[in-house]
A and B are shown apart, each in its own frame.
Chain A
Amino acid sequence: MNKPIVTGIGVLAPTGLGTEQYWAATRNGAKGIGPVSRFETEQYPVVLAGEIDGFEAREHLASRLLPQTDHMTRLALVAADWALADAGAKAEELPEFSAGVVTASASGGFEFGHRELEALWSKGSEHVSAYQSFAWFYAVNTGQISIRHGLRGAGGVVVTEQAGGLDAFAMARRRLRDGAGLMLTGGVDSALCPWGWVAQIACGRLSTSADPERAYLPFDSAANGFVPGEGGAILVVEDPESAAARGVARDYGTFAGYSATFDPPPDSGRPSALRRAIENALDDAGCQPSDVDVVFADGAGVPELDLAEAEAISAVFGANGVPVTAPKTATGRLYSGGAALDLATALLALRDGLIPPTPNVSELAPGIDIDLVTGQPRRADLRTAVVLARGYGGYNSAVVLRAPDKP
C-alpha cells in the first residue's frame, strides 16, 4: 500500500498554543521552561517545568466535560480538534468505521487521580468522583477523542514512556494498512501536581537546577538531567488514496519508515539498541543514511544517555555527518507528548526548509561528535528527517519522515 501522509497537526506546547504560534517560537529559539506555578515547590529538590500558560479549557470545551477530564485530556481534546480542523476532516463524511484513534500515554490523568486519592484517603470512598473509573486511566484520551469526533474505527493506546509518541504513530500506520482511511494519533501528557512531581523525581533523572537556561542541556558538558513539561501533539495520518478521495490537496509529508527496539538489561554491559532502531527504520523507509537531512534527537539530558545517543547517531551517519537538533530543550520532556511534538516539529521543518535550534545548549561534552544545531536556526533543503525517542526502561524508537513531493 501507499505510505501514509500527515494531513493535520494540532499542537499545545509550553512554547505555543496552536501549530503556527508554536512553530514561530520554535524557529526563533523561544524558551518555555520556568519555575513551577501550579503548586508550591519549596519542599522539593526540583523546581522547574515546561508549563503551558494561557490555556483556558472552558474556552474550548463544553462545561459538562470539565468535571470528567484531567488537564492532560483537555489539552489532548483541543489538540485533536485543531488537527482535524487543519486536515479539513469530519468523521461523518468518511466511510463508517474507517476513522480511528491511537494515542500514547505515559502516566494517565495523574492530577485527577491525585485529587481522588486524597478524597478517598482523607474523607472516605463516598467522596470519590463518579468519573475516577476512567478519567485517570491510560486509555482516556483515545476514548474521549473518539467520542468527541464520532470516530468508530480502530482504537489503540500505547504506553512506552517517552517513546510512546512514535510507537502510537506506528500503530496508527498499522491500522491504515488494515484498511482504515484516517487515524488521529499522537500523545499529550501532563502530571504537574505534587503527587505526580514526587513520582517523577523518583526516576532520578530530573535536573535540580533552578536556572531555566541551565537545567536541561542534552549533549552539553553541563548536562545535569532533564526538566519535565506538559503538552504534546495530535496528528492526522491518512492513506493517500483515501485523502485524495476527500479532496485533500496538501500534506505535511510522508511517514516513510519506523522501527522499535529494546535495550539489553541495565546490568548486561551491552550497548543500547538505539542504533539498530535507526538502521531498521531507514531500511523500512528504503533510505540510505546519506539521504537523511536532519535528525531530531531524543536528548535525554543525562550524560551517559546523551553519549549513547550521540554514538548511535555517529555510527549510522558518521561523526558530525548529519545536522542534529533537539528543540525540546525549550519545552522540557513531555513524556508521551514529547516524540509526538517532535514529529510535528520535524514536519514543519521539512515544510519550511529550516532546522530549528536547540536552545540553551552551547558546549558539547567530550565524545559527543554530532553536528548539533544551536543558536540560530539553519536553512537547508530538507527532504528526509529522522525522529528518535527513548522511553525509560529501554525503549528505542525511530521514525523516518519525507517531505511531500513537490508539485
Chain B
Amino acid sequence: MDTGRRVVVTGIGVVAPGGTGREAFWDLISSGRTATRRISFFDPSPFRSQVAAECEFDPVRQGLTPRQARRMDRAAQFAVVCAREALTDSGLSTTDLDPRRTGVSIGSAVGCTTGLEAEYSVVSDSGRKWQVDNDYAVPQLFDYFVPSSISSEVAWDVGAEGPVALISTGCTSGLDAVGHGRDVITDGLADVVIAGATDAPISPITVACFDAIKATTPRNDEAETASRPFDRSRNGFVLAEASAVFVLEELGHARRRGARIYAEISGFATRCNAFHMTGLRPDGKEMAEAIRVALDQGRINPTEVDYVNAHGSGTKQNDRHETAAVKLSLGEHAYRTPMSSIKSMIGHSLGAIGSVEIAACLLAMREDLLPPTANLHEPDPECDLDYIPRVAREKKADVVLTVGSGFGGFQSAMVLDRRTA
C-alpha cells in the first residue's frame, strides 16, 4: 500500500555479545572476532550444547535504576537500554517527541523466558511441586507471563502513547517488529516509532529445548569457532542473547529537523512456508517470495542489491534453504552479491537477531565495509555464493537486503536503501 509516507532510520542502539553499545558491536563484527564461549550463566555440563554468546551487561551501570533492574526481565532491560542509545544517536530527546505521535514495536521470540524459569524454580521448589507455591511468587511474575510488558517498559521510558505492540514471530520477530513499525508510520498512525527486538534466552529450558531437536551445535571444545554458517563442518547454531532498537521516522519529519539518516526502509514482506514448525522446504520458495515483494515495494531491481545479510544460522538445512532462496529471487546476480552471516560471530539471539542484523547492515552502509562470515573455511558445496569468508570487505553498499527464517515457518525480508539519505 503506497501512502506516500516513507520511513527512515535515524538512530541505532545495540546490546550484543562482545561489548555493549553500537560501536562496540561494530568493532566486533567488522573485525571478524567471535563472542561465542562456554556458557557461564549456569553449569552447562548436563546439556548437549554448552556454547552460547552471552552479553556482558550490568543494568545499573547501563543507567537503569535498581527498581527498574529488579522489575524487568533481562530482555526488557536490554530493550530499554537500546532504546535510550538509539534516541541519543538520533539527536532526539524524549521531550522532543510528541507522545501521541510516537509508537513502539518490539520483537521477541521467547519474551521473559529467563525470568519465568528463575521464578518457576522457586515456586516449584526446583521442580518438586506440580502444584506450585503461590506464597513464593514475586509481583513481576505476571510481567514475565505476558511479554507485552517489554514493550510497555520501552513505551514508558521514551514516553510513547501512540500504537505500541510486541511482535513475536519466532526468529523473524526482529525483522517483523521493524516492519510493523514501518507500517505504523507509513499508515500515518505515528511519525516516530521506537522499533527493534530483544531476547535473553540463555536459560536451561531454552538450551534443553534446542538440545532435544539437535538444532544447536555440540562443538563444545571449540566454543570460539562453534558457529560456522555455510561451512561444510557446520552442525547447528549457537544460542545467544542480544537486542537492537532503532528510531524510525517519517522521512519529512527527519528532514525537517536535519537528522542524520542511516537509510530508508524501502521494503518489507513476510511469508509462511506452511510446511513444518521447525523444518524448511529446501527450495526456499517462500523466502524468495518475501524477497521479491520487499524489492518490489522499494521499486528495486534485484541487480541493484549490493549486499545480502544472511539469516545464516549454521544449521545444515537453513544455509541450503537460504542459498536457494537468494538464487531464486536474485537470479544470476546472487553469484555476484556478497552475503554474510554475523551469527558466525555473535550467535543466534532468536527473535532479537533480525534487528541486530538490521543494525549490522546500517553500520556496514555507514562504513562502506561488509562484515564477514567468521569460521568459514570450506564452504558446503550446496552453499556456493560469495559469503565473505573471515575478513570484512570494503565495498560501498547502497541497497542492502536482510532476511530471516523462523520456527513456525516464518520467512521475512527487508530492503534498506541508503540513497534516500
List the 4 shortest-distance A-B pairs measured between CB atoms, nearest first.
A121-B127, A143-B408, A393-B152, A122-B127
Contacts of A395 in B (CB 8 A): 148, 152, 164
Closest Cβ of chain B: how far from A164's Cβ, in Å? Answer: 8
Q: Which of A114, A124, A128, A177 is packed against the most chain B CB atoms within 10 Å? A: A128
B248 near A: Cβ within 8 Å? no
B272 near A: Cβ within 8 Å? yes
Q: Which of B138, B142, B176, B271 contacts A97 (CB 8 A)?
A: B271
For B285, the closest partner residue in chain A by CB is A152
Q: Which of B47, B215, B272, B278 contacts A153 (CB 8 A)?
A: B272
The interface stretch among B27-35, B167-175, B327-335 is B167-175
A368 near B: Cβ within 8 Å? no
Q: Give Cα distance in the complex from A70 to B145, angstroms.
A: 16
| 24 A-B pairs in the complex with CB atoms less than 8 angstroms apart | A39-B130, A97-B289, A100-B271, A114-B130, A129-B212, A133-B209, A137-B170, A138-B147, A139-B168, A139-B169, A144-B277, A146-B273, A150-B274, A154-B270, A154-B271, A155-B270, A157-B168, A158-B165, A159-B165, A160-B166, A194-B131, A199-B145, A201-B134, A261-B100
Given A160-B164, A171-B180, A264-B99, decide whether A118 and B130 contact each other with a Cβ distance below 8 A.
yes
Contact B164 A195 (CB under 8 A): no
Contact A262 B163 (CB under 8 A): yes
Instruction: Add 4 more A-B contacts to A143-B409, A393-B143 (CB < 8 A).
Output: A133-B278, A161-B148, A391-B148, A394-B156
Contacts of A151 in B (CB 8 A): 272, 274
Interface residue range, chain A: 35 or more
Closest Cβ of chain B: how far from A176's Cβ, in Å? Answer: 9
The interface stretch among B115-123, B340-348, B387-395 is B115-123
Given A125-B46, A393-B149, decide whether A153 and B138 contact each other with a Cβ distance below 8 A.
no
Q: Give Cα distance in the complex from A155 to B290, angstroms.
A: 11
Contacts of B166 in A (CB 8 A): 158-160
Q: Give Cα distance in the complex from A330 to B155, angstroms.
A: 33
Contact A120 B286 (CB under 8 A): no
Interface string of A2-34 (1 = CB under 8 A from B): 000000000000000000000000000000000
A361 near B: Cβ within 8 Å? no
Closest Cβ of chain B: how far from A147's Cβ, in Å? Answer: 5
Given A45-B134, A262-B155, decide whether A125 and B160 contact each other with a Cβ distance below 8 A.
no
Contact B213 A133 (CB under 8 A): yes
Contact A133 B272 (CB under 8 A): no
Contact A202 B139 (CB under 8 A): yes
**Could you tell me which residues of chain B, from 345 to 386, have a CB within 8 Å of some CB in chain A?**
none
Q: Which of A39, A117, A152 contacts B272 (CB 8 A)?
A: A152
Interface of A is mostly: mixed
Given A147-B277, A157-B169, A264-B161, decide whether A174 and B148 contact each other with a Cβ distance below 8 A.
no
Q: Which of B169, B204, B210, B213 contacts A155 (CB 8 A)?
A: B169
Q: Which of A139, A140, A204 is packed against the most chain B CB atoms within 10 Å? A: A139
Contact B155 A68 (CB under 8 A): no
Q: Give Cα distance in the complex from A178 to B131, angstroms.
A: 47
Contacts of B269 in A (CB 8 A): 154, 178
Given A40-B131, A155-B408, A194-B132, decide whether A199 and B168 contact each other with a Cβ distance below 8 A.
no
Closest Cβ of chain A: how far from B44's Cβ, in Å? Answer: 10
Interface string of A107-142 (1 = CB under 8 A from B): 110100110111011111100111111100111101
Q: Which of A117, A137, A149, A155 contacts B124 (CB 8 A)?
A: A117
Contact A130 B213 (CB under 8 A): yes
For B210, the closest partner residue in chain A by CB is A133
Contacts of B97 in A (CB 8 A): none
Closest Cβ of chain A: how far from B199's Cβ, in Å? Answer: 11
Contacts of B414 in A (CB 8 A): none
Q: Give Cα distance in the complex from A128 to B103, angstroms.
A: 39
Contacts of A160 in B (CB 8 A): 148, 151, 164-166
The interface stretch among B51-59, B104-112, B217-225, B316-324 is B104-112
